[in-house]
Amino acid sequence: MPITYDAEKRLFTLQTANTTLSFGVFDHGYLFSHYYGKKVKNADLSQLWQPGASGFTPNYDGAPDGRHALDVIPTEYPSYGGGDFREPAIGVEFENGSRLLDLVYQSHTIEKGNKEPDGLPGLSGGDETLEVTLKDAFTGLVVVLRYVVFADIDIIVRNSRIVNETGKPLYITRALSASLDLCEGKYDMISLYGGHCYERQICREPLRHGTQSVGSRRGTSSHFHNPFIALAAPETTETAGEVYAAALIYSGNFIAQADVNYQDAIRLQIGIHPADFRWKLENGDSFVTPEAVLTYSATGLNTMSQNFHNAIKYHLGHTKFRNAPRPVVINNWEATYFNFNEEKLLELIGSCNGLGIDTFVLDDGWFGHRDNDRSSLGDWFVDKNKLPHGLTPLIEKCEAQGMTFGIWFEPEMISEDSDLYRAHPDWCMRLEGRPYCRGRHQLILDLSRDDVEQYLEKVIGDILSTYRISYVKWDMNRHFTDAYSANLPADRQPEIFHRYVLNLYKLLGHLTETFPDVLFEGCSGGGGRFDMGMLYYDPQIWTSDDSDAIERLKIQYGTSLVYPPQAMTAHVSACPNHQVGRVTPFRTRAAVAMSAIFGYELNPLSLSEQERASIADQTAFYHSIQPLVMDGDFYRIVDPFTENSCCWMFVNKEKTEALLTYVQKLRIPYWHRKIKLTGLDPDATYYVDEIHGGVKFRAGGDVLMNAGMAIPCANDFEDKVFKITKVD
Ligand code: GLA
């Protein structure tokens, strides 16, 4: 039984394979947190809960003695007005202007399995769900806290539902998904920051007193911060030490923060960003917050990542592509940009014949009269100037070569030079008459409007049902400004960001259900919307517009903190690299891209004979290792943020096969690197086989993990890839 309730002690205990979370109902009805951490057998942790004497911290009404100040008591879902001066999880404004709330326990239910939240993506296949109903007696406002246990992967999902039973409309001003009060301790905060072409760099800094937060107010989760936060003990490494982590299944504005009070107690929170957010809730209506995915690891960061990876691989999304084989793609963007016609594309497709590439993806520029990025977004009709016979000749050419055809859309955008804009100038986000911003010369469609969502269902559906398309690259190339909807009343304007995300999910849900055989890939100027919300519909995301192999080491390494390699698309592109101008070996570019969902972003005809000839070998090798990349456990071995090289490995569940990828950044004279492997069976013997080199030997798993293995001296940007197979 993963979730138990001790009625006598009024104590909830949530158990996973290696963790325990416990909280109880106290006298007044408050839900006080007892413990989250390494698994303990005894569910009664109430001795841990100690009200502390504290000055200038008022006691709540009905407190049993003078030491019950909410400001210092660990609480499950803190609210405003009753003496907890830290960051609340919820904020409401009632009709009379009052923001006071006092949420106390009413009832609870424990049920087998779990249901995904209405209208929002969530994890499925949970073991048990606990719902605890809290109520503000004075107004009748109800908050239901939901916990879903995924026992074998050490994941606990949390979110909340706010129900207006007050008889009058109210405004929600803050609705976080999870708030976690942890005991005092010293922790580093880990977050993923970045920018365009520079996504998910790792930031690790000691927590200090006060609030430290990351977030996005750009309308999407963004390149700049990722909806994830971890708190690791200072000594925590990849393989040892404790770490708490939370990620949000949401693609819009978010906040992730940690607050440390003067007693060193920590409050960890994640949810929709409260800035620019206010939601009017009519009487009888409810508001559901996105799911927060929580995990705790006592064995380092790699376990944290694997817990998240397992949640995504086995529990996120319903498409048939979840944890299933993916095509090797060739994409024409860096090969042609906007400069193509039918002849050029047919030649490009023809050049792929026999190379083992599964899908050709036609990127930006095939619609309206889009010869550059100044026009046509919104006009999802084939440009007959460039493609006089439509998409059919391209599709037929692909199919004649045993390939399928994919296509690029940027559905959420509108160009002022488009038929759509001329017909519906009110469909974009802005305030009529007021000067507004453009980003990449384009405006954002106001997807908070249902008519816009329906239009997109129709036009994209038309293309997908007219042509044999197996793959859609779904792009989104600017962030929100002028966030105003011509369709919303004044007091609902601050709902625009969340309504946009809800309708985006509706649109993606409709299209992925209507076209179940189409694989959707997410993209937002590269990895600008790389989050679990998008991964629910798009099981893989273009990781970055920076396709340089050396930059990609950090980007893919950082991304792997939360997201499995099977969620990342990575392509071999031409050199000098178009983003940074660097020249790296063709083989290294392939080794890095093969550590994810592999493909190409170049014109094979522009390659040397030798490079072109190696594509068939690369795709054959990748097809042979893709099951390991998809389903294997991923281990980070050498950190490219701190070292002059990078190394990671995949190990299958049976621990009989592994793949180790090592990449040198700059060569160091006489440098023979020794590295310790992870995840192998210590009692097994393995055969280590360097794919393109002469290192071949047998060694015990215990030796490889404890003594390590030597990596032969590598040149600038050189790769060393090893297949490791159990022999007995
Ligand atoms: C974005 C994407 C690229 C490409 C271009 C096309 O930048 O990240 O991969 O599709 O748009 O305009």
- Give 446-513 as a DSSP string: -TTSHHHHHHHHHHHHHHHHHS---EEEE-------S---TTS-GGGGGGHHHHHHHHHHHHHHHHHH
Any ligand 1 atom below 6 A from CB of 495: no
Ligand 1 atom nearest the C-alpha of 526 is 8
Look at residues 717, 645, 630 and name the one whose alpha carbon lies nearest to residue 310.
630
What is the rounded CA–CA span in Å between residue 183 and residue 55?
19
For a mutational test of ligand 1's pocket, the pick from 362, 364, 529, i.e. the residue with the most ligand atoms closer than 8 A to its C-beta, is 364
- Judged by DSSP in three states, 181 sits in strand
Q: Which of 475, 531, 538, 639 is catalytic?
A: 475
Any ligand 1 atom below 6 A from CB of 376: no
Q: Catalytic site residue 462?
A: no
Instruction: Please tell me the distance between residue 681's alpha carbon and the centre of ligand 1 in angstroms.
Output: 43
Look at residues 462, 551, 156, 121 and name the one whose alpha carbon lies nearest to residue 322.
121
Any ligand 1 atom below 6 A from CB of 105: no
Average pLDDT per consecutive 10 residues, the chain (728 residues; last block may be shorter): 95 97 92 95 77 80 78 93 94 98 97 96 98 97 98 98 98 98 91 98 98 98 98 98 98 98 94 98 98 98 98 97 96 98 98 97 98 98 97 98 98 98 97 97 98 98 98 98 98 98 98 98 98 98 98 98 98 97 98 98 94 96 98 98 97 98 93 92 98 96 97 94 97
- Nearest CA owner, ligand 1 atom 6: 364
- Paired with 220 in beta bridges are none
Any ligand 1 atom below 6 A from CB of 363: yes
Any ligand 1 atom below 6 A from CB of 526: yes
Strand 19-25 relative to strand 11-15, pairing? antiparallel
- Judged by DSSP in three states, 340 sits in coil
Q: Read off the amino acid at residue 474.
A: W
Instruction: Please tell me the distance between residue 351's alpha carbon and the centre of ligand 1 in angstroms.
Output: 23
- Judged by DSSP in three states, 375 sits in strand
Any ligand 1 atom below 6 A from CB of 545: yes
Beta-strand ranges (E) seen in 94-242 are 103-112, 128-136, 142-150, 155-163, 170-182, 188-195, 198-206, 210-216, 228-232
Q: Give residue 541's Cα distance to chain centre.
A: 9
pLDDT on residue 192 = 98
For a mutational test of ligand 1's pocket, the pick from 197, 329, 333, i.e. the residue with the most ligand atoms closer than 8 A to its C-beta, is 333
Instruction: Please tell me the distance between residue 433's alpha carbon and the centre of ligand 1 in angstroms.
Output: 31
What are 293's two structure tokens? 């995915």
pLDDT on residue 58 = 86
What is the rounded CA–CA span in Å between residue 475 and residue 509?
16
Look at residues 438, 426, 434 and name the one whose alpha carbon lies nearest to residue 487.
426
- Nearest CA owner, ligand 1 atom 1: 525
Instruction: Please tell me the distance between residue 533's alpha carbon and the centre of ligand 1 in angstroms.
Output: 20
Helix and strand numbers (H, E) in the chain are 12, 38
Instruction: Please tell me the distance between residue 526's alpha carbon and the centre of ligand 1 in angstroms.
Output: 7
Residues 6+ apart with CB under 8 A from 78: 70, 84, 86, 87, 88, 89, 90, 179, 181, 267
Q: Which of 364, 545, 548, 633 is catalytic?
A: 545
Q: Catalytic site residue 545?
A: yes
Any ligand 1 atom below 6 A from CB of 475: yes
Question: How far is the CA of 231 from the CAs of 182, 206, 246, 317, in angstroms?
Answer: 10, 9, 9, 27
What is the rounded CA–CA span in Å between residue 554 and residue 641?
6
Instruction: Please tell me the distance between residue 348's alpha carbon and the centre of ligand 1 in angstroms.
Output: 19
Instruction: Please tell me the distance between residue 722's alpha carbon and the centre of ligand 1 in angstroms.
Output: 33
Any ligand 1 atom below 6 A from CB of 523: yes
Any ligand 1 atom below 6 A from CB of 300: no
pTM above 0.95, yes or no: yes
- Nearest CA owner, ligand 1 atom 12: 364
pLDDT on residue 39 = 97
Residues recorded for the chain: 728
CA angle 670, 664, 525 (to 5 degrees): 160
Any ligand 1 atom below 6 A from CB of 525: yes
N- to C-terminal Cα distance for the chain? 38
What is the rounded CA–CA span in Å between residue 60 and residue 518?
56
Give the dihedral sign, CA 672/678/683/689: negative
What is the rounded CA–CA span in Å between residue 669 and residue 671?
5
pLDDT on residue 61 = 78
Ligand 1 atom nearest the C-alpha of 525 is 8
Instruction: Please tell me the distance between residue 532's alpha carbon and the centre of ligand 1 in angstroms.
Output: 21
Q: Read off the amino acid at residue 260.
A: V
Any ligand 1 atom below 6 A from CB of 316: no
Cis peptide before 669 (omega within 30 of 0): no
For a mutational test of ligand 1's pocket, the pick from 339, 545, 546, 569, i.e. the residue with the most ligand atoms closer than 8 A to its C-beta, is 545
What is the rounded CA–CA span in Å between residue 103 and residue 84?
12
Ligand 1 atom nearest the C-alpha of 373 is 12
CA angle 192, 195, 198 (to 5 degrees): 80
Look at residues 332, 299, 320, 283 and name the one whose alpha carbon lies nearest to residue 606.
332
- Nearest CA owner, ligand 1 atom 7: 525
Q: What share of the chain is helix, strand, coil (3-state, %, to 5)?
A: 20, 35, 45
Maximal CA-CA distance, the chain: 83
Look at residues 460, 475, 698, 722 and name the one whose alpha carbon lies nearest to residue 591.
722
Any ligand 1 atom below 6 A from CB of 406: no
Instruction: Please tell me the distance between residue 364's alpha carbon and the centre of ligand 1 in angstroms.
Output: 7
Instruction: Please tell me the distance between residue 190's alpha carbon and the centre of ligand 1 in angstroms.
Output: 29
